[in-house]
Structures are given as structure tokens and as C-alpha cells.
Amino acid sequence: MPANTDIYNLPERSLRLFKILVEHFIQDGQPVGSRTLARDSDLDLSPATIRNIMADLEDIGLLQSPHTSAGRVPTAKGYRFFVDSLLRVSELTHNEIRRIEEELSASEDTQALLMRTSNMLSDITKLAGIVMLPKQEQHALRQVEFVSLSDNRVLVILVFNNNEIQNRIIHTARRFSPGELQQASNYLVETYAGKDLITVRKELVRELEHMKQNVTNIMTSAIEIAQQAFTKEPIRDDFVVAGQTNLMDIAELCDVERLKKLFDSFNQKRDILHLLEQSAHAKGVQIFIGEEAGYDVLDNCSVVTSPYESEGQILGVLGVIGPTRMHYERVIPIVDITAKMLGSALNSNN
């Protein structure tokens, strides 16, 4: 009669054994054998008994052995079960918390803050840190400035409520004088300050229609310029990765092929972005283990993410990428607290 095949009905003893095995493997990356486990577990069992239990765990799909006479290693499913049901996250030390706090002091502009966050994450975990940048769209406009360049090019500067600054160069139909530009910007600030770009665009369309009927509107040129200034979205980076090189020290990723694929996918952004967006609307920390998510570049990797929010609105996602064999009990609270602190840092930045 084979042992129970349901993960959730495993006897206490098997669970403890499994937990110890996973922790052991995370610690030093070697497959764990029955002998070692018998020695290191406080359960007083012989290697043989432990072998039986491990065989059961392998049947259920929590373990696997790389080859006949190596010890056992957790499967992706095993890690999943481990982090979901067995893991106790550890308390961060006072020093660590202070470190995070210090790094996230909200003194400069958002972009720089997010980069610092990413660096800090990678530095503190010795893995790769990743911070998704907030979509600009959601922020309220605060200020609009135009600077006339040569010919009919105009430099547009938009300042948002979160102190983010965007600038774009637009080509206007005709040359505008500085005076006209000043007038236009005054009008636009008056009319649209406090609204986010999406709203602004909508209202602009209405305004345009209105204009067609009432040609005398003195603000024609303002609307004209604004039409371009607010529509053209500058190409922005979607996220920043820091500490990629940390991943090069990790034994299981230590082959150039693999690393290249991973780094390439950081550069192409596409896959990683998908992954991050998935967790944008989860609450709290989320963990993607190995190819679970379907991205084969992330073979043997785990991604620990958390959305960060300010004033109740989700702004983006941050997290850490490392080997499946990472110290979840440390990484999870770090990501968690960083997300929260980043949120409030951004808050006080407004």
C-alpha cells in the first residue's frame, strides 16, 4: 500500500523531514542523502526509514534525484509547497531595516529613487534586484512649460504631481513665438493641472470638436500644441535591473549559455515585463518558482515580487530574481518591507 499521495495529508514526520531537506539543500546546494538527513534531523530515525519517506515524497512529486546515487533535490512543486505551507519568514535585523529606510529616503526625483531601490535590493540580497517603473499616465499634471527651439520645434516639459518630469520635442505646423508659448502654457496649466494624462487627452478631443464650431477661440494654438504635446508618449524604460552580475556567482546558473539567455531577456524586457504585470494586482509578496510561470529563461530561477503602492493606488512592482535555491525566508520579508517603504517614500515625495 503506497503512502498517502495527497500533499496535504502527509504525516507530520514527513513534513518535518521535507522541510529540513529543503533548508539543507538551499544552504549548500548539494543533493541531500538519507544519511545526512538522519544525522541532521532531530527526528531519531535510521537512514533506511528516511529513505522510505523520501521515496514517498518523490512519488508525490516533491522531490527528485538527479541520478540514482545522488541524494534528493526539491522539485518546483516541492519549492512551491515549501514556500506556501512550510516556510516561516525570518525577522529582519534592526540594521537591515535601517539600511532599507536610509536608502529610500525620498530626497530626489522618483527615477533616481527607483534606481536606488533596485540597487539596494540587489545589494542586500546578493541577487538581482528589479523595479518596475510606474506608468506615467496615472499622475496628475502639475506644470507645463514650452521652450522654443530652432525652426518649428518646441521642447515640451511636463511636471507631474510626483515630481516626475517628462520632456519631449514636438514639431509644430508653424513657428510659435515665446509669447505665444507662454500664453499657451498658462492656459493649459489653468485648464488641465491636477488631471492625469488620460483625462487630459479625452478632454482635449472634446475641446477640439468644440473648436471646429467656434473658430474664434483664442486658445486655438494652445490646443493645437497640446494635442501633440500630450499625445506623443516618450519611450521609457519599463523597469530597471540591478546586480545582474550577482547571478554569475550562483553555481546552478554558472553556464554562459544560460546566463546569456537570462540577461538577454532582461534587455528585451518583454518576458520579464509580462511576469511583473501578472503580480501587479496581487496583494503582497508573490513568488514565481522556476519555469512554473512558463518562461523557460527562468529555468532554475525564482522571482519574488511585490507591488508597491502610494495612496492606495498600485504604482508598480518590485522584486528580486535569483536561483530557485534562494533564502526565501530572508528575501521575502526584504521584498515585502521594501515595497511598503518605497510606497510611503513616494507618498511623502508628492
Partner DNA sequence: TTTTGCACTCTCGCCATGAGAGTGCTAAAT
Partner DNA sequence: ATTTAGCACTCTCATGGCGAGAGTGCAAAA
Binding residues vs a copy of itself (CB under 8 A)? 107-109, 112, 142-143, 145, 147, 149-150, 155, 157, 159, 163, 165, 167-169, 234-235, 244-245, 248-249, 254-256, 259-260, 263-264, 267, 350
- Given the complex with a copy of itself, which of 11 and 194 has the nearer CB atom? 194
Check if the beta carbon of residue 42 is closer than 8 Å to that of residue 84: no
Partner that binds at residue 134, options a copy of itself, DNA, none, CB closer than 5 to 8 Å by kind? none
- Given the complex with DNA, which of 6 and 44 has the nearer CB atom? 44
Partner that binds at residue 107, options DNA, a copy of itself, none, CB closer than 5 to 8 Å by kind? a copy of itself
CB of 43 to DNA, least distance (A): 9
CB of 99 to a copy of itself, least distance (A): 20
CB of 13 to a copy of itself, least distance (A): 41
Partner that binds at residue 108, options DNA, a copy of itself, none, CB closer than 5 to 8 Å by kind? a copy of itself
Task: Round to whole Å and give the CA distance between 187 and 181.
Answer: 10
- Given the complex with a copy of itself, which of 97 and 147 has the nearer CB atom? 147
CB of 150 to a copy of itself, least distance (A): 7
Partner that binds at residue 149, options a copy of itself, DNA, none, CB closer than 5 to 8 Å by kind? a copy of itself
Chain-centre distance for alpha carbon 154: 35
- Given the complex with a copy of itself, which of 149 and 198 has the nearer CB atom? 149
Grid cell in block for residue 88? 516561516
Task: Round to whole Å and give the CA distance between 197 and 193.
Answer: 10
- Given the complex with a copy of itself, which of 159 and 315 has the nearer CB atom? 159
- Given the complex with DNA, which of 71 and 129 has the nearer CB atom? 71
CB of 123 to a copy of itself, least distance (A): 11
Specify burial of residue 263 (Cβ count, 10 A radius: 0-12, 13-18, 19+). Answer: middle
CB of 300 to DNA, least distance (A): 16
Partner that binds at residue 169, options a copy of itself, DNA, none, CB closer than 5 to 8 Å by kind? a copy of itself
Count other Cβ atoms within 10 Å, centred on residue 52: 15
Chain-centre distance for alpha carbon 239: 8
Partner that binds at residue 259, options a copy of itself, DNA, none, CB closer than 5 to 8 Å by kind? a copy of itself
- Given the complex with a copy of itself, which of 215 and 235 has the nearer CB atom? 235
CB of 338 to DNA, least distance (A): 37
Nearest CA to 142 out of 123, 126, 124, 162 is that of 162
Partner that binds at residue 54, options DNA, a copy of itself, none, CB closer than 5 to 8 Å by kind? DNA
Partner that binds at residue 45, options a copy of itself, DNA, none, CB closer than 5 to 8 Å by kind? DNA
Chain-centre distance for alpha carbon 172: 38
CB of 6 to DNA, least distance (A): 17
- Given the complex with DNA, which of 139 and 325 has the nearer CB atom? 325
The bridge status of strand 239-242 relative to strand 301-310 is: unpaired
